[in-house]
Amino acid sequence: MKRYTQYSILIILFILSFAASQTVWGKPIAKTPIPGIPFKVIGYLRTNDITSDRVARFDLNKITHLNIAFINPDSNGNFSMINGLTALVIRAHAKHVKVLASIGGGLAPEYYSSLIADDISRRKLVDGLMALCEQYQLDGVDVDLEGHFIDINYEPFVTELKAALKPKLKLLTTAVATVYGTQYTDKALAQFDFINIMSYDKTGPWKPEQPGQHAPYEMAVEDLDYWGSTRGISKERMNLGLPFYAYGFGSGVPSDMSYSDIIKSYPGSEKNDEMTVAAGGTIYYNGSPTIKAKTNLALQKAGGVMIWQLLQDDTGSKSLLNMINKEIKAVKK
């Protein structure tokens, strides 16, 4: 009887402690970034945009990581010189921004399957990536291999790459989409310092019969739940992907369009998520209210946000990056 009473008291104390941690005087406490771990803002920049005038179009002070997309080798695993990258890395490091080489991409060269298929070619690719990091003083590698590239050779490749990067204190990250999430092994996912969830492209020009929003808020909620709850990725290792672009369906609209071009063409469109033109076609995107809501979702459920891609943003008061930065600062106060 005595043991039962002590056990009951412990249970009651635990319940009261848990309830207190979730409320203050009966009011829910909003979850915030994990103390001591900076909230990440990761932006992608295309290799052909590595010029001083284009980089000047966004504020390096408002991002934490810059992924250069895409730095791919040739079919033999050899990398070419990248003009302007050294100067960009120096500039980014001066702002305490880490720079990573992102390999692959949505249209990754088919020969990647061969480059990671056996020990010899895989080792050459890993050695080439390490040399690339050394040459340009990069802070790591971002692996954006999608779809059929995530095969039986994917796990050995990222495991070997991680083993090479870790002693050099370099990062290994990846871009993932939930649609092919089951193709990743737990061991492969464990190699990454963090994952960037591509929570967009639910539909697009490749699905003309399925017009609609390609990056709804509900998709972000579901994606974070899958990678966090189903796959067991911790909060601080997940970054929510945010699209700075649109897809158009129907007459009178382009198949794709940057956020910047949208708000320049259609005044007031930054407040919405879609725009229907006179010819009948509709453009679908994420306006500032949705990006704001997703940023706050990430502040609660993830360790950061990821942006594809930085130069599709506008400048000034309508900049999505500026708005993201404002939301992050509001939480830190």
What's the confidence (pLDDT) of residue 36?
66
Cis-peptide, bond into residue 70, ω within 30° of zero? yes
Nearest to 235 by CA among 285, 203, 283, 197: 197
| Least confident span in 10-24, 36-50, 152-166 | 10-24
pLDDT, tens only, 123-170: 999 999 999 999 999 999 999 999 999 999 999 999 999 999 999 999
Give me the domains of the chain, ranges plus CATH numbers: 38-244+287-332 (3.20.20.80)
Q: What does the pLDDT average to over 302-311?
A: 98
- φ/ψ of 242, rounded to 5, equals -120, 130
Q: Note the pLDDT tens digit of each residue in 218-261.
A: 999 999 999 999 999 999 999 999 999 999 999 999 999 999 99
Q: Quick one: pLDDT band at residue 35, thresholds 50, 70, 90?
A: low
Q: How far is CA 153 from CA 120, 150, 159, 181, 218, in A?
A: 13, 7, 10, 16, 33
Q: What is the model's pLDDT at position 18?
A: 38
pLDDT in tens, 189-202: 999 999 999 999 99
pLDDT at 106 over 80: yes
pTM: 0.89
Q: Which of 301, 96, 292, 110 is nearest to 197 (CA)?
A: 301
Order across the sheet with 274-276: list the strands. Answer: 256-258, 245-249, 282-284, 274-276
Average pLDDT over residues 80-108: 97
The per-residue pLDDT of the chain, averaged, comes to: 91
Residue 211, pLDDT score: 98
DSSP H helical ranges for the chain: 2-22, 52-55, 85-94, 112-115, 119-136, 154-165, 186-190, 217-225, 259-265, 288-301, 320-332
pLDDT of residue 29: 34
What average pLDDT does range 110-128 have in this prediction? Answer: 98
pLDDT value of residue 34 = 58
